């Protein structure tokens, strides 16, 4: 049992050590929107109710960015535009798989 536990710990650290960079693009909002910044938000794997948080804030003159060093997993991303009045509604959400291992199945304590 001790041996198995130590192997699992090693595997976990190894997987956590992997990270990905994810490049995004989008279309500029119409000039009349007077966008001052774009915000990329993401929901972490396993987040209940897709609780999005900001991961990157970019200039309104930017239409591309790379989100770096994300631990492996499947994330949902969306984009929000901001101007002097406030934030837009979010863009459509996109799911980005990052080659994470599949979920262990039949996980249980064996006699």
Separation between Cα atoms, residue 91 and residue 93, nearest integer Å? 6
Please give the backbone phi and psi of residue 16, each rounded to the nearest 5 degrees, phi first.
-65, -25
Using a 10 angstrom Cβ sphere, with 0-12 exposed, 13-18 middle and 19 or more buried, the burial of residue 22 is middle
* Residue from 14, 69, 99, 110 binding other proteins (CB under 8 A): 99
Q: Segment 7-46, which members bind other proteins (CB under 8 A)? A: 18-27, 29-30, 32-35, 38
Q: Looking only at residues 39 through 98 of this chain, which bind other proteins when binding is defined by CB under 8 A?
A: 72, 77-92, 94, 96-98
Would you tell me which residues interact with other proteins (CB under 8 A)? 18-27, 29-30, 32-35, 38, 72, 77-92, 94, 96-99
């Amino acid at each position: 049992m001790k041996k198995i536990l130590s192997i699992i710990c090693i595997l976990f650290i190894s997987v956590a050590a992997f990270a990905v960079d994810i490049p995004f693009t989008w279309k500029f909002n119409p000039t009349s929107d007077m966008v001052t910044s774009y915000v990329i938000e993401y929901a972490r794997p396993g987040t209940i109710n897709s609780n999005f948080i900001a991961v990157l804030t970019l200039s309104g003159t930017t239409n591309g960015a790379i989100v770096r060093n994300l631990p492996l997993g499947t994330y949902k991303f969306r984009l929000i535009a901001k101007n002097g009045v406030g934030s837009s509604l979010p863009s459509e959400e996109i799911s980005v798989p990052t080659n994470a291992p599949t979920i262990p199945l039949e996980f249980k304590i064996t006699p």
